[in-house]
Amino acid sequence: MSRKKKKAPLMGIEVEAYAAEGNSIAHLDEGKVLFIENVIPGDIIDVAIIKDKKSWAQGKMLRLITPSPNRIDAFCKHFGVCGGCKWQMLPYKLQLTYKQQQVADQLKRIGQVELPEIQPIIGSANERYYRNKLEFTFSTQRYRTIEEIKDRDEKFESEPVLGFHAPGLFDKVVEINKCYLQPEPTNLLLTTIRAYTQKHNLPYYNFKAQYGWLRNVIIRVTTTNEVLINLVIHHEVKEDREGLLNYILEQIPTITSLNYTVNSKVNDTIYDLDVVCWHGKPYIIEELEEFKFKISPKSFFQTNTLQAEALYKITREFAGLTGKETLYDFYCGTGSIGIFCSGLAKKVIGIESVADAIKDAIENAALNNITNCAFFAGDIIDICNDAFFDTHGFPDVIITDPPRIGMHPKLVNQLLKILAPKIVYVSCNPATQARDLQLLDVAYKVVRLQPVDMFPHTHHIENVALLELKV
């Protein structure tokens, strides 16, 4: 069988515009659209075609011939390899411009509904060190660049590495020496763990062969200067575990909560596993305005704390609460949005499918002495029936904050049956939000739109939409 002929590279292609999801575009013959990652408008490049369809193609930059006038030097030496901050070569103001454009394009192209003017995007106050949670991975297989493996015949030896998974590779990890995403003691912790584990020859995990001991380390920090560490190991080796944990604590005594988890499964998820608190309390406390939130190793919490406060303020403003409303919070998670809005609502009803998150929500309400919030675990479609409304009240306002895939069609249909006067739709994916707005258009009009940037140097963007019933 003959192999499909590889397409020749395209030379001297000018990148014309930003598309979405980290792609920029150029146009080929007869108007064919070429999507390219990791480039910016104005770049002139040589391109390899990696996917070729009738009306579009996907390309990969082979060589940057002439950089765009807008291109700047990345501030992190891992840029272009680790895959975390893909837009460091783009000034932050221009990142915000493209994100604003992404929201507008996707809402208009996919949603195809009447829209109000989109408010100027709210940028992040911190462009670096803005994350409150990171997860680093131990591996025996270090990711190597094309330059490292070029013209090399023999295989590389196993090498312990602590860092981030290489993009698209489950078994290769990029060594991270300094990360600009999370404030200290994150980089100090990486240095401390790497030095101790390699000095004592503690075995890192091999994801392909599924053997080894050290798997992951999860780090959470708060604006109140509390620090939570969760070390994930494959199996219990008491002497080694205690030695490592004690050393971490000796070197970084400011750690508030030091934990470990034994994970002998194939996958990395720990949500079905027990977390053991080794030192301190089994949680940390974060604050948004006057509200306190308890964050445990398995809790979900918005990753950019300061921008979460900005996002919640917009959500609360859009809800237009006067103290008389019954507010329903769908996909409520650990209750943060509902609690944030509780002071202006008569009653808050939070619903979430993850039972552990609801436990956290109930604890967070108690922590803040809030008595007008009630939280329920289960499927929104099953819970929100006439009997439930008879007991807890009909929603005057619904806040919905779904995952990236957007709302399930059954939930959209449920919203069209409930017909609450207002819906505030908080989205981390304008494309799926646009799809849902189109489905809701039979009963609702979009009256306000506000993009919020939670993740500088990435293509991700949040958008808040206020919907009101059509007259």
Catalytic residues: 428
Task: Give the number of other Cβ atoms within 10 Å of residue 295's Cβ.
Answer: 22
**Range list of H helices, 252-335:** 305-319
Q: Which two tokens stand for residue 236?
A: 């219990």
DSSP class of 414: H
One-letter identity of residue 202: L
Sheet holding 227-233, edge to edge: 173-175, 161-165, 133-139, 214-221, 227-233, 257-262, 275-280
Cβ atoms of 438 and 112 closer than 8 Å: yes
> In the beta sheet, which residues pair with residue 327?
348, 397
Other beta carbons within 10 angstroms of residue 92's beta carbon come to 16
Q: Which residue has the tokens 């000095």?
A: 199
Bridge partners of 285, per DSSP, are 294
- φ, ψ for residue 404 (rounded to 5)? -60, -30
What's the DSSP call for residue 203?
P
The alpha-carbon radius of gyration of the chain (Å, integer) is 24
CB 425 within 8 A of CB 436: yes
**104: three-class secondary structure by DSSP:** helix
Rounded CA gap, 325 and 344, in Å? 8
Give the burial string for 44-58 (b: 16+ CB within 10 Å, else e): bbebbbeeeeeeebb
Q: Give the angle subtended at the CA of 182 by the CAs of 250 and 221, to the nearest 5°.
A: 55
β 347-352/373-377 pair status: parallel
Rounded Cα–Cα distance for residues 216 and 260 (Å) = 10
Residue 275's DSSP bridge partners are 261
Rounded Cα gap, residues 252 and 192, in angstroms: 9
